[in-house]
Structure 1
Amino acid sequence: MPALTSFLPLSLQTVLLLVASNVFMTFAWYGHLRSLATAPWYAAAFVSWGIALAEYLLQVPANRIGFQQAGFSVGQLKIMQEVITLAVFLPFSVYFLKVPMRLDYLWAALCMVGAVYFIFRNG
C-alpha cells in the first residue's frame, strides 16, 4: 500500500511539513510563556527542547523533499518558512498567548508577500 504522501505533489508535501514543523516550533519557543510561566527557566528549556525535536523531525524532511525533489531553491524554502512562521505565529499569539491583534501584523504580512514575489519571480 503506497504512503498517503505519495498522492500529494512534492511541493504540497514540503509546505504541509513546514506548517506542521512550525506549529511545533512556535510552541517550543513561545508556549512556555503561558503554560510554564511559573516553572524555572531550565524546566521550560527542557520541555521546549523536547518539542523542538518534533519540529526537527518534520523540518529536515520538508527541506530535503523541497530542495532535492520538488526543485525549490534554498532561498525559496527559507522565504516559505518565514511566511509560514508568520501565518502560524499570528493565530498562536492572539488565541494562545492572548496578545491583541495589531495592524503591524498586516504590514509585516505585506512585506512577506513582497519577499515571496522577489524570491519566486525568476523560477
Structure 2
Amino acid sequence: MKYIYTIGLLILSNAFMTLAWYGHLKFFNKDGPHGTTPLWAIVLLSWGLAFFEYCFQVPANRIGSSEMGGPFSLVQLKIIQEVITLIIFMIFSVVVFKNMQFTKNHLIGFALLVGAVYFIFKG
C-alpha cells in the first residue's frame, strides 16, 4: 500500500510543481489579460502553489523511503519522481500549451528514461 500512497502523492506534488513552474507562462503571458502583472506577484503566486507541492512531496518521500520503513531506496524515489515529473509535464504541455508537439526524439528520450528506471530498480 505504501507504493500506491507514495506514487499518488508524487503525482499530486508534481502537478502543483508543474503549475507553479510553468503555469505563469500561459496564464500571465505578455499578450493575455494579466500581461502587466508584476513579476514579484507572479513569484509569490508560484511560491504559494509550490507550498502545496511540498505538502505532498515531503509525505511521499517519508512514506516511500526505505529509511522510514517504505519500499523504495533514495535513488529509486528520485527516479520515480523524475519520471512522474516528465509525464505530468508532457500532459500539461499538450493540454495547456496546445501548440506543443512531441517528436520521435522526445519518444526516444523517454524510452531511454524507462531504461534508466529498469536499471535503477534492477540493481
Give the alignment's TM-score, normalised by structure 2. 0.88
1:18 equivalenced with 2:18 (yes/no): no
| Separation in 2, partners of 1:98, 1:41 | 24
| 1:115 counterpart residue number | 116
Cα deviation digits, residues 11-69 of structure 1 (max 9, x gap): 11000000000000000000000112212221111100000000000000000000023
Contact 2:11 2:84 in 1 (8 A): yes
Percent identity over paired residues: 49
Q: Secondary structure at the match of 2:111?
A: helix
Q: 1:118 deviation in Å?
A: 1.0
Count of matched residue positions in the alignment of Structure 1 and Structure 2: 114
Rounded to whole Å, the distance in 2 between the matches of 1:108 and 1:40 is 36
User: Residue in 2 aligned with 1:79?
Assistant: 79
- 1 CA distance for matches of 2:39 and 2:109? 30
1:75 partner letter = V
| Unpaired stretches in structure 1, ≥5 consecutive residues | 1-8
The equivalent position to 1:62 in structure 2, one of 57, 60, 63, is 60
Indicate if the aligned counterparts of 2:2 and 2:71 stay in contact, CA closer than 8 A. no
Where does structure 1 differ by over 4 angstroms across 4 or more consecutive aligned residues?
none
TM-score, normalising length: structure 1? 0.88
Within the candidate set 45, 48, 53, 1:47 is matched to 45
